[in-house]
Structure 1
Amino acid sequence: MSAPAIRATAAQDAEQVLALYRAAAGGAGGLARRPDEMDLAYVESFLAKARAGGVTLGAWIDGRLAGEIHASRIGPEQFAHVLSDLTVAVDPTWQGRGVGRALFAALFEAARALSPQVTRIELMAREGNVDAIRLYERLGFVIEGRFVQRVRMPDGRLEDDIAMGLLLTPA
């Protein structure tokens, strides 16, 4: 596998991002939305929010979108140093092959370049998504809390949502 080409996603990438998210949601990944709960307006909305003060990046392999990551600022000035609402999706074909790790490395680099400076990144992970939680911990995220029985799985089971944070050190 060649290394993915990572660049900021643009408005014209929305259809590819939608296809990626639907593919990732249909697999064993940890996306909270089912494929039928996603449409172009949903994707355009989170991409626009991330581009307006946050980060949105795509990983292309052989001209095809293999993964996307985005995080946004959450609002009031007192949280300007925080990127939150982080979501990463990797096409099932490319999972376990370093695409997610490459996207996070690029996210950290881009976050360090933002102004005002970002010093904290937050994400949520469903407790059953153990591979993702292990990856996030290897990247430096720590478990900071748990929302008990917050996630209803398609089969009706309830799982905890795990709150994780990373304090971003300067480059």
Structure 2
Amino acid sequence: MSAFTVRPAVSEDGAGILALHRKVAAKPGGLARRPDEVTADYVAHAMAVADDGGVNLVAVDTDGTVCGELHVERMKVAIFAHVLTDLTVAVDPDWQGRGVGSALFRALIEIARTMTPPVGRIELWTGAANLGAQRLYQRLGFKIEGRMTGRGRYPDGSVDDDIVMGLLLD
């Protein structure tokens, strides 16, 4: 198994993040975006949220290739400023099951515990059919908090519910 490291994303990672997200989006159920929706502007926004109170992490292999990425933003309304939300994680299909997603989340949680102002909650949504992701998030301490019925509509017209999950930091 190849080694990888997790670190904050830097601007030079943009092309690698774009390639990763396009690859993951091409796999059914990989991302809540179609490959044509993964643009340079989408990646620029994901990277900008880290500069505006959020977090953007990458997992890179020993060659420096991006094999995973996670970004989350901080809510801007004062009453919710302790919340990290709109979380997206992408792991290269060739790297799935090798601990990349877990490592990205562990790094996020560690960073969130040190942020100012303090973060008290991390939230995410995942497709109801994505049981593997739900199990991973639960192993990391996230709790299922609800279900958003019919939230996602696929290109074939079928719909899927979103599962709302949250992690309270203590």
TM norm. shorter chain > 0.5: yes
Which residue matches 2:52? 52
**Which runs of at least 4 in structure 1 moved beyond 6 Å after TM superposition?**
none
Segments of structure 1 that go 5 or more residues without pairing to the other structure are: none
Counterparts in 2 of 1:22-101, with a 5 A limit?
22-62=22-62, 63-101=64-102
The separation in 1 between residues aligned to 2:3 and 2:81, in whole angstroms, is 32
The separation in 2 between residues aligned to 1:28 and 1:107, in whole angstroms, is 26
> CA deviation digits over 1:95-123, x for unaligned, max 9?
01100000000000111111001110000
The separation in 1 between residues aligned to 2:148 and 2:30, in whole angstroms, is 16
The separation in 1 between residues aligned to 2:128 and 2:165, in whole angstroms, is 11
Residue identity opposite 2:138 in structure 1: E
Q: How many corresponding residue pairs?
A: 169
Is the 8 Å Cα contact of residues 30 and 126 (structure 1) preserved in structure 2? no
The separation in 2 between residues aligned to 1:135 and 1:155, in whole angstroms, is 28
- Structure 1 range deviating more: 48-57 or 92-101: 48-57
Secondary structure of 1:19's counterpart equals helix
Shift of 1:12: 2.2
Residue identity opposite 1:32 in structure 2: A
The separation in 1 between residues aligned to 2:29 and 2:9, in whole angstroms, is 21
Shift of 1:29: 4.1
Segments of structure 2 that go 5 or more residues without pairing to the other structure are: none
Is the 8 Å Cα contact of residues 145 and 162 (structure 1) preserved in structure 2? yes
Which residue matches 2:14? 14
The separation in 1 between residues aligned to 2:99 and 2:28, in whole angstroms, is 17
Shift of 1:162: 0.9
Residue identity opposite 1:166 in structure 2: L
State the TM-score, normalizing by the size of structure 1. 0.94
Distance 1:30 1:142, change over 3 A: farther
CA RMSD in angstroms comes to: 1.2
Shift of 1:132: 0.5
Is the 8 Å Cα contact of residues 125 and 165 (structure 2) preserved in structure 1? yes
> CA deviation digits over 1:77-111, x for unaligned, max 9?
11111100111000001001100000000000111
Shift of 1:2: 4.1
> CA deviation digits over 1:23-69, x for unaligned, max 9?
11112444110111111011101210133211110000122111001
Secondary structure of 1:100's counterpart equals helix
Is the 8 Å Cα contact of residues 46 and 56 (structure 2) preserved in structure 1? no
Which residue matches 2:124? 123
State the TM-score, normalizing by the size of structure 2. 0.95
